[in-house]
Structure 1
Amino acid sequence: MSDTGGGAAVLTLDHPPANALSNAAVRELTTALNTLAAGPNAPALVLTGAGERFFCAGGDIKEAGAYDAESMVERMTAFHALLCALEDFPRPLVCAVNGWCVGGGIEIALFADVVYASPQARFVFPEIDRGLLPAVKGIARVRTVLGDRAARRLLLGGEPVDALDAQAVGIVDHVVEQGELLAVATARARAAAAKPPAVFAALKRALRTGSAGRAAAAQLRTTIADSRRVFDDPAARAAREAWND
């Protein structure tokens, strides 16, 4: 991880040659996210991949080839924990997709607050052709973000889409030239980091848990607790006072 200043840092998936998600990489990424989230001054994060060909090649197929069923269960349990760490991260989370984004890489990107991609980026869920499955939490996220028809197209079809098609279906928010990708994503992370952290965290928590099916009483309890927390937060108070001035 590299600190870029301005309250933002870059976390790079660096597992040559294709930034595949080995068991070790999954554990390291999960630990990094949880450690940062628990700290007093967690930065806004930009997630990207090393090099220009791959953001993330998904699960490490060579490693998976040696698994038995129980090993795969352990692997999927660890990956589920990574998706939970992404979902629960209270600070701004920006993805800079610099190349191929495969399987679990798409699941990771869809838990970001904003996704930038280079024109060279390609997105594919190959699991249906490889005899594997994405995580159910990831599948649910695909359907929530993209809608049922696009989710079926990608998950059941197994065909790659380019950056512009990915933007059209909702995987990507902005397509940016490769040479500008990391700088633009980092600038967005810094801008988000400048917003009151307590407010940002409360909004992300509400977006995560405030579904229409949630009991009204539970929604009210969260509203009251978050309102108290934000009202007493110094940064939120400063933002209110600046607005009033």
Structure 2
Amino acid sequence: MTLEVPSVQSKEAWNSFLQLFSLADGIVILRISDDAEHDQEGYVAKSPLLGEVYEIIQSRPMFVVCVCKGPVRASLMTFPAISQLVLATTGASFGLPKYRHDLHPITPIALKKRMMEKAVRRLQLVGDPIDANEAQRLGLVDFIGDEAEVENEICRLVYRNCSPSSQYFMYKSDLVKAMRAKEEA
């Protein structure tokens, strides 16, 4: 399943994302392209959403691949940190610019599981963004390439990790039916 991580910082967008994410299993591809300059409502930083995402990843049989394009900042840094594999385009950058203001408490904890504590502390205190190459050197990113190379790597991972008998495609009508059944239960 491929999910777009919302760059629109609204409760409705994140609740929709969380509903779809809770139905996923197997290989889940999260695509982050943060077009929003700033979390105007502070929704991500103040909500329990990222904690719920972390619980879903820990409780379900899934292999999470995070694809990062453009700037990934603040609380959205949680997604690459909790993913099993992180792919980034050459234009991706990462950072914690306003550490105390708009950061969810789970973000530094998740980052410390993926990166060395010294590197996480530097990101928090300095606040300067790092490019994809530096993120790879620090252990946050596993693969860097242009958009075509990243898409080819996704195809290779899906082909390698999914045997033909376990590939499952869910059509929109089936997804709506599954969501209604879950709501009624």
- TM-score normalized by the length of structure 1: 0.59
Equivalent position of 2:176 in the other structure: none
Distance in 1, Cα, partners of 2:17 & 2:44: 19
**SS of 1:127 mapped into structure 2:** coil
Paired residue for 1:80, among 26, 39, 51? 51
Paired residue for 1:62, among 40, 47, 52? 40
Contact kept? 2:94, 2:130, Cα under 8 Å: yes
Per-residue deviation, 1:178: 1.8
Paired residue for 1:47, among 30, 41, 45? 30
Is 1:150 the equivalent of 2:128?
Answer: no
**SS of 2:40 mapped into structure 1:** helix
Distance in 2, Cα, partners of 1:83 & 1:34: 11
Contact kept? 2:3, 2:28, Cα under 8 Å: yes
Is 1:139 the equivalent of 2:108?
Answer: yes
**SS of 1:180 mapped into structure 2:** helix
Equivalent position of 1:12 in the other structure: 4
Is 1:118 the equivalent of 2:100?
Answer: no
Per-residue deviation, 1:164: 0.3
Equivalent position of 1:187 in the other structure: 156
Deviation above 4 Å: which 4+ runs of structure 1? 57-60
Q: Which has a greater percent of helix?
A: 1
Across the two proteins, how many residue pairs are aligned to each other? 166
Equivalent position of 1:23 in the other structure: 11
Per-residue deviation, 1:22: 2.6
Contact kept? 1:20, 1:59, Cα under 8 Å: no
Distance in 2, Cα, partners of 1:78 & 1:174: 27
In structure 2, list runs of 5 or more residues that go unmatched: 167-185
In structure 1, list runs of 5 or more residues that go unmatched: 1-8, 37-41, 50-54, 65-70, 198-245
Distance in 1, Cα, partners of 2:12 & 2:50: 11
Distance in 2, Cα, partners of 1:91 & 1:177: 26
- TM-score normalized by the length of structure 2: 0.76
Distance in 1, Cα, partners of 2:136 & 2:35: 19
Distance in 1, Cα, partners of 2:35 & 2:86: 17
Per-residue deviation, 1:116: 0.7
> What's the RMSD between the two structures over aligned residues?
2.7
Q: Is the alpha carbon distance of 1:137 and 1:88 closer, same or farther for their aligned partners in structure 2, counting shifts above 3 Å?
A: farther
Q: Is the alpha carbon distance of 1:151 and 1:118 closer, same or farther for their aligned partners in structure 2, counting shifts above 3 Å?
A: same
Contact kept? 1:106, 1:123, Cα under 8 Å: yes
**SS of 1:181 mapped into structure 2:** helix
